[in-house]
Amino acid sequence: MLVRMPPTALIVHAHPEPGSFTTAQMREAEATLAAGGHQVKVLDLYALGWNATLDRADFPGSEGYFKPQAEQARALAAGTLPLDITGHLDALHQADLLVLSFPLWWFSVPAVLKGWVDRVFVMGSVFGGAYGIFDQGALTGRRAVLLLTTGGAAGHFGADQPYGDLDRHLFHIHHGMLGFVGYDVLRPIVTHAPARQTDEVRRAALSSVRQAFEKIEARDPVSDHGMTTSF
């Protein structure tokens, strides 16, 4: 008899304040996915004290000209990747759904989350080597979604608005990180300017997050990992 395993989700969270709205909506996502039958693992990068720097220290014995991705591939083959990387890499490969949870800082991800991608998206394991890129990446067939907050109000984002189009700011994440290694990238889940809202509006925003994750299986992908409208 074939036993169907429950779907798995990995949430990688990057906010230094446990009491933040960004953290609250991450916990809402975690609870909703678990209630829907997912096995959920959360990696809280600040709480873990995650080392965001990819450098020679990850590869003891490395000599001469230092090319990080080549060193990753060699360490992967030799079984000498640092334990913090291998643990997160295993969790990444086990997850059917990847959720990146963060506040939008300088129109991008916090440095600790970018450093997580630098160190955990290992060449030879998620791309390169036996794998290609995009639809040949190792994570082809998996899904990924961004769960984020902004400092600016929704009305400040747009082609003719002061902050520009949000989808353009997210393109390098959608396409250059997630799509690059094979993920089917879903429309981002965004709460705008929660710090400026009333408690009632924040409660409604958490309800929207819950509804989005209740229906995550049916959530639309972004167009070419890029330009689409988020709620």
pLDDT band (50, 70, 90) for residue 180: very high
Q: What is the mean pLDDT of residues 89-106?
A: 98
Q: What is the pLDDT of residue 229?
A: 37
pLDDT at residue 35 greater than cutoff 70: yes
Each domain of the chain, given as residue ranges in start order, spans 8-225
Q: Which residues contact 127 (CB under 8 A, 6 or more apart)?
A: 121, 133, 137, 138, 180, 181, 182
Q: What is the pLDDT of residue 5?
A: 83
Q: What is the pLDDT of residue 224?
A: 64
Residue 125 phi/psi, 5-degree rounding, is -115, -40
Q: Which CATH architecture has domain 8-225?
A: 3-Layer(aba) Sandwich (3.40)
Element (H, E) at 167: helix 166-173
pLDDT at 227 over 90: no
Q: Which of 133, 229, 153, 227 is nearest to 189 (CA)?
A: 229
Q: What is the largest CA-CA distance in the chain?
A: 58
Q: What is the mean pLDDT of residues 88-116?
A: 98
The count of other CB atoms within 10 Å of the CB of residue 140 is 14
| Range with the poorest average pLDDT among 2-6, 89-93, 190-194 | 2-6
Whole-number mean pLDDT of the chain?
94
